[in-house]
Amino acid sequence: MSKTVQVQTPLTDIAVGSLRAGDEIVSVDERRVEDWSALADALSKGDGTKRLVVRRGGAESSLEAVFSKDESFGIVPEVEPVIGDVVAGGPGEKAGLRRGDRVVAVGSARVDGWSDLRSAVEAMPGEKTMVEVVRDGEPIRLDVSLDEVEEKGPDGESRRVGKLQVAPWQERHRLNPFAAVREGVKQTVWVIGNVFEFLRILFSGRVTADMVGGPVSIFHISGESARKGLDTLLSLLAFLSVELGILNLLPIPVLDGGHLVFLGIEGARRKPLSVKQRVVLQQIGLAVILLVMVTVTVFDVGRLLR
């Protein structure tokens, strides 16, 4: 895991304070950040001005920038244009791209970072182009026919974009048992926080169809994770286990959270609910769960048909 954070201004050219592409953020409000997730967590705590310590050109300096946790931070991690995963059957695999290839150009566009690669590919939906990579120190040119897909842009409008169906390289480090437990707790807390943040957005009425997924999405994502390796699949299973564990505690009859509500009501009344009351409440809870399952499945099928 990287101990520093590389950031760059986004493609929308929205400047954030005095940050520049390639800046390395060392700390936020005197809180040292070790990686991108730590940076995002530090920036999300409250709105307003943040004091950053930035390393630029080997020298550290302080600056202030205004961030809002309800909006994009306006910065993204700077990722090397090295291919980590190639989707089976995708245009990248068909062209001959391999794990570890460093992309240096797409068509006539020079590639210095992953954002450059993504921008160049998205600008050519469905087109045939050339991808130049460096493999084992040797330059190689490959012809590729990009996919064309429809997705929503930053403004919420649908657009057609090109896809190469590859993912960036991710460094993996082996941890000792104590560090692994500490990292596991950290990741679990992060997932729990995300679940509650989603519930907040859900009850505020700002959830869109693209933000939810059901059995079909889980099946699809599980297949993709299995193809990427056992560690990716186990990470997905751990993520789903924590997420479902939290959702199971929601105060809905049929779920464990609903039974806890029953116990609370019975404790306050000092007598148990009648069998008829329990059956009615459980039927209501079951209807809610079925409605949610049908809705997210419809959303899943709709995404597949697009």
Report whether pLDDT(43) > 80: no
Report whether pLDDT(2) > 50: no
Phi and psi (nearest 5°) for 103?
Answer: -80, 130
C-alpha 134/C-alpha 22 separation (Å) is 22
Report whether pLDDT(174) > 70: yes
C-alpha 77/C-alpha 54 separation (Å) is 14
C-alpha 292/C-alpha 289 separation (Å) is 5
C-alpha 67/C-alpha 181 separation (Å) is 32
Lowest-confidence segment of 39-48, 77-86, 88-97 by average pLDDT: 39-48
User: 306: pLDDT confidence band, cut at 50, 70 and 90?
Assistant: low
Higher pLDDT, 9 or 142: 142
**CATH pick for 83-168 out of 2.30.42.10, 3.40.50.2300, 2.40.50.100, 1.10.3720.10:** 2.30.42.10
User: 141: pLDDT confidence band, cut at 50, 70 and 90?
Assistant: very high
Looking at every residue in the chain, the average pLDDT score rounds to: 80
Lowest-confidence segment of 10-14, 48-52, 182-186 by average pLDDT: 10-14
Nearest one of 302, 49, 85, 283 to 172, comparing CA atoms: 85
Indicate the helix (H) or strand (E) that contains 110: strand 109-110
Residue 139 zone, left/alpha/beta (φ > 0; ψ -120 to 50; rest): beta
Instruction: Summarize pLDDT for 105-121 with one digit per residue, the tens.
Output: 999 899 988 888 988 99
- Identify the pLDDT of residue 270: 87
Instruction: Summarize pLDDT for 282-292 with one digit per residue, the tens.
Output: 899 899 889 88
Contact 65, 48 (CB under 8 A): no
- The residue-averaged pLDDT of 156-182 equals 83
- The residue-averaged pLDDT of 14-33 equals 72
- Identify the pLDDT of residue 69: 55
- Identify the pLDDT of residue 10: 37
For the chain, percent of residues with pLDDT exceeding 70:
84
- Identify the pLDDT of residue 12: 32
Contact 26, 33 (CB under 8 A): yes
CATH number of 5-77: 2.30.42.10
Higher pLDDT, 96 or 152: 96
C-alpha 37/C-alpha 30 separation (Å) is 17
- Identify the pLDDT of residue 53: 85
**Fold agreement between 5-77 and 83-168:** yes
Contact 162, 148 (CB under 8 A): yes
Domain boundaries, the chain: 5-77, 83-168, 177-305
Contact 295, 262 (CB under 8 A): no
- Positive/negative CA dihedral, 14, 20, 24, 27: negative
Instruction: Summarize pLDDT for 240-291 with one digit per residue, the tens.
Output: 898 889 889 888 888 888 888 888 888 888 888 888 888 888 899 899 889 8
- Identify the pLDDT of residue 134: 94
Report whether pLDDT(70) > 80: no
Report whether pLDDT(227) > 90: no
